[in-house]
A and B are shown apart, each in its own frame.
Chain A
Amino acid sequence: MPTIKHARHGLAASALLGLGLAFSAPSQALPISECIAPADPGGGWDFTCRSVGKLLLELDLVDSPVQVTNMPGGVGAVAFSNVASKRPADSDLVVATSTVGMTQIAQGQYPGGADTMRWLAMLGTDVGVILVDDESRFESLDQLLETMVEEPDSLAMAGSSGAGGWDHIRALMLAKAAGMPADQIGSVRWVQFDGGGPAVTQMMGGHVDVVSTDLGEIAGFIESGDVRVLAVLSEEPLPEPFADLPTAVSQGYDVTGYNWRGFYTGGEVSDEDYTAMVDTLQTLYESDEWKDVAQQNGLVPLWRGGEEFNDFVRQSIDEVETVSREIGVIQ
């Protein structure tokens, strides 16, 4: 995969970039002045940038609004390669990412590995859920997994990622934990929709049987009672209002599936600027306001920052790579 773009393209981009920098020059002292959301407006990464940007201003951690730049393409690959090649040393730029971006790196879909960037922090995490319709024949996770193992081709599962994406992998990790043999894993039918909400409504319409996705986006359906939660994929039960939902761990399946939200910055940012950015994010994380925003959006506030986060990302990439290999997504 070529990472070098056309020279002309680069030239035009840097000319435009130069223009942008000339305009934004006065705000140099800020630790964070721009957030790249590597997706179209409206998605999870866009939400991460916008909600964090808004809070940074409200908490007076920055003097002027954080500019949110949408840079969609390649599930984050366009933003990744843009920062790697053109803005590796920008000391006031953060890029939103999550488990989804990390999965892409683990499966070799980005132009570079984890070392290309400096990983700043995660601020919270969404939690995977396994759902069925409220009138489904499946009353418990045991029942569902038993059917999956015995007749893997009798079910249609759906989620917001394509085959081999995080929603799919999490569901298959559960099937593996329930004793599904490796050669059967490919026969579970997986249907991709453009988001967790569409997947759930398709399930309510009776078009698919089970949904594996993140809690945050579909919390409204749980509260209204239109769906039945068979398992949440967290270690501990969630805080209210989801405290009653059973975890997979408590039902005897040692599987967790978080989708954390966090940020990286360019690989050539100095230690001093890196620390300043991590500190700013930590102050934000410790505020009550962040806890409220996180909770109302189905995120569990969870902090890992600086070097600890760097190590965590590398370790997680190894894990996802192993699972992807086991289920045959990558060779």
Chain B
Amino acid sequence: MDILTFLAQGFAVALEPQHLFLALIGCALGTLIGALPGLGPVNGVALMIPLTFNFGLTPTAALILLVSIYYGCMYGGRISSILLNIPGDEPAMMTTLDGYPMALKGRGGEALGLSGVASFIGATVATIGLTLFAPLLVGFAIRFGPAEYFALFVLAFATIGGVTSGSLTKSFIAACLGLLLGTVGIDAVSSVPRYTFGWFELYDGIDFIVALVGLFAISECLVFLEDTRHGSKPTMKLGSAIPGMRSAWQCSPTIARSSLIGFIAGVLPGAGAALGSFLSYTLEKRWLGRRGDFGRGDPRGVAAPEAGNNAAAGGALIPMLSLGIPGSGTTAVLLALLLSMNITPGPLLFAQQPEMVWGLVAALFIGNVMLLVLNIPLVGFFAKVLQAPGWFLMPMVVMVAFVGVYSLSNSAFDLYLMLAFGVLGYVLRKLEIPTVPVVLGLLLGGQMEYNMRRAMSISGGDWSILWNSGISIGIYAFAITLIVAGLVFGWMVKQRM
């Protein structure tokens, strides 16, 4: 077996003491960066690049460090989602939906343990997929043209009603609000600015990190401020992480399905980890129908998005390494690192730089184990965070939010925008309109629109291109099945009552 020989060589590279040490540093740092609201994998990896130059790291060593941070962020994002209802980064957003309710019920430790295991399995599935199928998957990914991507986003929006347990209408309103906000900025197709009011800061559109931090972290603080009756946060019992292992076993079908969905979403360039965790969650919710207790602290609602986003993070490395196209902001930064180290990713990378590629793959396996080992005992440490009084915790959250958002673009404008989103989030909460679909609309709407218009440019305005391929028809059929199944199921439940 060629692959096994290569992988063995890769482990020889990854197990060198320097590389092991860097992987450990990367995992720990990544977990921290991921957990801090506003700081996500993109900033984490970008901030580290100058350091890799200063320490004169070899390309392999630098890549191991940065990819460990990337994987670490995917683990870390869940921590603040579960404990504070504030996602550390956008793929962790879906984890708030059931993770925080679990924490409120005193099952925070279980949620952390479970999500740690789910993350591990998701990432491992993706790494195995990367090892075995990278060349094959490239062939699959290039069959996705604009029309097929559009179908994928239609599927995503067809399931958006299932995101939260509240009213369907309110989810719909929230998603439309997100779509509306997503149209701000220079239209990439025609280069015409839309809804920018002459502010150059809006030309690139609204950064979803800014929206995310505002809608979650800032509005959480506003709600806290208003809630004067609680001078300090009610102390939540965290519980132990050990039940997490047991529920991980019970959730194993969920984790398996979600890992697969996340991985596929990751392989498709442009879809990314957020779509991976989103589709994993909503599809799992549909799959289980009313058998689940989603939105009120169902462990499967924690396992699904965590397995999904970690699998997507691993999958996203495939187009980056083998086609040289970044599937997400983070992989774009990794790509830049490779280029500035004179390594050109592309179809020949696996043949020209086998040591580096397989060393990286082996480092991913090792990093994953490290992250699992790091994360389970740390549950006790996170408990301390949770028990910190609100007058201490909330100012910290605000400070980190400001620093994180300012580090994105060095722009005070984004800080004001973040505050505006904080107020918006507060108002939406008062109206009981869920905030998650707002970010999803913002995140997915732009790509959906561009892919539709690219398809139109290709066909010269002939709409039939949208359903001209087997892949798109398959995706639409799946979306329709989901909607119809949802309606029929709802009708049956009503009949019984």
Chain A residues in the interface with B (C-beta under 8 A)? 1-2, 5, 9, 12-13, 16, 40-43, 46-47, 50-51, 54, 57, 65, 67-75, 77-78, 81, 109, 111, 153, 156, 162-165, 189-195, 197-198, 201-202, 204-208, 217-221, 223-224, 226, 292-293, 296-297
Contact = CB atoms under 8 A, between A and B. Distances in A.
Contact of B336 (A42, A67, A109): A42
Question: In this complex, which of B46, B319, B349 has the most chain A Cβ atoms within 10 angstroms of its Cβ?
Answer: B46
Given A13-B412, A41-B332, A163 B458 contact: no
B460 interface: yes
B332 A40 contact: yes
Interface in B333-364: 333, 335-336, 339-340, 342, 344-349
Contacts of A193: 454
A127 B49 CA distance: 27
A9 B457 contact: no
**Which 5 A/B pairs are nearest by Cβ-Cβ distance?**
A220-B346, A42-B332, A74-B203, A207-B145, A205-B142
Contact of A16 (B141, B188, B406): B406
A277 to B, nearest CB: 21
A300 B215 CA distance: 47
Contact of A72 (B142, B204, B333): B204
Contact of B412 (A9, A57, A65, A217): A9
Contacts of A40: 42, 329, 332
Nearest to B326: A42
Given A13-B412, A41-B46, A47 B200 contact: no
A62 B287 CA distance: 60
Contacts of A1: 198
A16 B412 contact: yes
Contacts of B325: 195, 197-198, 201
A284 B145 CA distance: 42
Contacts, number: 168
Interface string B397-414: 000000000100111110
Contact of A217 (B188, B324, B349, B450): B324
Interface in B310-332: 319, 323-326, 329, 332
B269 interface: yes
A223 B348 contact: yes
Contact of A78 (B187, B188, B411): B411
B428 interface: no
B239 interface: no
Interface residues of B, number: 59
Contacts of B326: 42, 195, 197
Interface string B440-467: 0000000000100010011010000000
B50 A197 contact: no
A194 B200 CA distance: 20
A73 B457 contact: no
B409 A70 contact: yes
27 contacts: A1-B198, A2-B198, A5-B413, A9-B413, A13-B411, A40-B332, A41-B45, A41-B46, A42-B332, A42-B335, A47-B340, A50-B340, A54-B340, A72-B204, A72-B409, A74-B201, A78-B201, A78-B409, A165-B191, A191-B146, A192-B188, A192-B457, A197-B325, A204-B142, A205-B142, A220-B344, A224-B346
A72 B43 CA distance: 14
Nearest to A296: B342
Given A41-B46, A65-B54, A219-B344, A162 B203 contact: no
Contacts of A42: 326, 329, 332-333, 335-336
Interface centre among A42, A54, A192, A195 (most CB of B within 10 A): A42
Given A194-B270, A195-B326, 7 more contacts: A41-B45, A54-B340, A78-B409, A162-B187, A162-B189, A201-B323, A219-B344
Given A13-B412, A51-B340, A191 B458 contact: yes
A9 B410 contact: no
B150 to A, nearest CB: 12
A162 B145 contact: no
B128 interface: no
A299 B143 CA distance: 30
B345 A65 contact: no
Interface centre among A41, A50, A193, A297 (most CB of B within 10 A): A41
Contacts of A224: 346-348
Given A197-B324, A217-B324, A220-B349, A71 B336 contact: no
Most interface-central of B144, B324, B332 (chain A CB within 10 A): B324
Contacts of A293: 342
A202 B188 CA distance: 17
